[in-house]
Structure 1
């Protein structure tokens, strides 16, 4: 056991990586010295790594596993991207203890930040540091965090979501819709969704994607209102109903979206299939047990559309 190893080898330390998402260095400066001092003569070696915004946090979490994530919710590009919405599904942060510092009330935060250790600004330095020390000490002595225990009991598989792919698809979707004159797109609160539930939309397109960090699929689904809004511009004629003449346009729309996204995604070593079209409401995409899903809803002036991300389970190495 890990604890027994530390009893036998005092010179060996257990490295604990802490990601601090903090654009002005205040949090890092607040906790760095006290945390390092607290564990100077212990069996734990805290390693503090800072990200200046949500995008940089996503990149850093692609390349390194973190045991704790400390977030200031005021940092740029945090709430408008995929990072904050899937912290407990990404491979390198899914077991991390989450601490959040915010001027907002807990009820105003996304669902993914609801079950965290919350600190209202202005934060008490002693309270924050004590919470971090308690987490690191608990992990050192082998306590199992509730979310990790639940995940282990649920399945013997793990999965990972490549947030860069999600962000690339979001960017491509909004850019393409803007080209068609749909400029009032608003991203609503994303959250987990069962991958076995039907797609939310009446016309959808699905692509399979695979990389070293991700195996699964993405879909873009339009409801009737948002789809007719886009296709009316494409066909240069007002469309009021879904019919055989305008349903084929979904393939063209999503080919453009995923084509634009592919230019960026290919830089990440991601393989993507040709989009396949699914017509009709309440359609499902079969996936294995143990898969994980995330739904990112958007609204336009005339309807809604959805980006659905499903990560397939990756078996543990023997």
Structure 2
């Protein structure tokens, strides 16, 4: 017999959310789970609907009408039917610009990265399923978002004024990491176990190092090759406040050599997020280990 999971969407459903809805339905069907979507046009409509149904996940468009209504802001996380609900907030604004009551939830920047929302919803809806139904991998969307946010902020602070994130794509672990300068660290949270590779193409790395050290560099020389470790530490330091609340543990960054591959447990999978700049590209590779 199939289990059922209820999801509320507060705000309009555009093409991206329709894609997430279709993909999630297919993903959860493979786990013998039916997904039921309830649409709410605004915050007040949502409050009325949670009186009659318990929800497993909720997506809130921060720009939807009456989301800033006091009844919605104060009640949505405390209501008996949503107090243990997994809530995702999406907005064109930065997370710090949102109402404080919305900042505590998993945040997704618009335009939406559909793969990240899909992973977060799949993880949320897989909680408390029978063991045979539980997904093999667990990715904490909050950790990924914190990494993306901190990486973009640090790179912009060091001279990369224009940074555009491309669509995340799967990556074969047998392939070497991207770029000419990279670092790896193990990362673990309450629901995530895996690794992270941060890497840069030559010109992007040289631009950041030149800004950091206050002198121009045109080649990756031995005296600056280990700066990738310092860049990684700065990024992780900026994400530390969010990581701490998620129970994240990390190792120190390990500098990678060109063409190096990282041994991972059998069955691990990898997602590559590419960032474009006028100087070239840099990359976040997030590796998920299978659950034991």
Task: Give the TM-score, by structure 1 length.
Answer: 0.59
Number of equivalences:
224
Give 5+ residue unaligned stretches, structure 2. Answer: 14-37, 63-76, 78-83, 94-107
- Distance of aligned partners of 1:188 and 1:49 in 2 relative to their CA distance in 1, 3 Å threshold: closer
Which whole-Å CA distance do the structure 1 matches of 2:196 and 2:149 have between them?
Answer: 14
User: Match of 2:233?
Assistant: 255
Which whole-Å CA distance do the structure 2 matches of 1:164 and 1:251 have between them?
Answer: 23
Superposed displacement of residue 278, structure 1: 1.0
CA contact (8 A) 2:119 2:139 kept: no
Which whole-Å CA distance do the structure 2 matches of 1:168 and 1:17 have between them?
Answer: 27
Which whole-Å CA distance do the structure 1 matches of 2:184 and 2:55 have between them?
Answer: 40
CA contact (8 A) 1:82 1:166 kept: no
User: Match of 1:136?
Assistant: none
Counterpart among 288, 299, 307 of residue 284 in structure 2: 307
Residue 115 of structure 2 is aligned to residue 84 of structure 1: yes
- Distance of aligned partners of 1:205 and 1:49 in 2 relative to their CA distance in 1, 3 Å threshold: closer
The root-mean-square deviation of aligned C-alpha atoms, in Å, is 3.9
- Distance of aligned partners of 1:271 and 1:80 in 2 relative to their CA distance in 1, 3 Å threshold: farther
Counterpart among 17, 20, 32 of residue 8 in structure 2: 20
User: Match of 1:294?
Assistant: 271
SS state of the match for residue 219, structure 1? strand
Give 5+ residue unaligned stretches, structure 1. Answer: 4-13, 37-44, 55-59, 67-72, 96-150
Per mean C-alpha deviation after superposition, the further-off stretch among 84-93 and 210-219 is: 84-93
User: Match of 1:117?
Assistant: none
Which whole-Å CA distance do the structure 2 matches of 1:275 and 1:81 have between them?
Answer: 29
1:9-40 deviations in Å (ceiling 9; x for gaps) = xxxxx5x223233335993369x9xxx9xxxx
1:256-313 deviations in Å (ceiling 9; x for gaps) = 1112212220111111111111132x22111122112111100111110001100100
User: Match of 2:30?
Assistant: none
- Distance of aligned partners of 1:242 and 1:198 in 2 relative to their CA distance in 1, 3 Å threshold: same
- Distance of aligned partners of 1:255 and 1:49 in 2 relative to their CA distance in 1, 3 Å threshold: closer
Superposed displacement of residue 81, structure 1: 6.2
Which whole-Å CA distance do the structure 2 matches of 1:277 and 1:287 have between them?
Answer: 17
CA contact (8 A) 2:56 2:85 kept: no
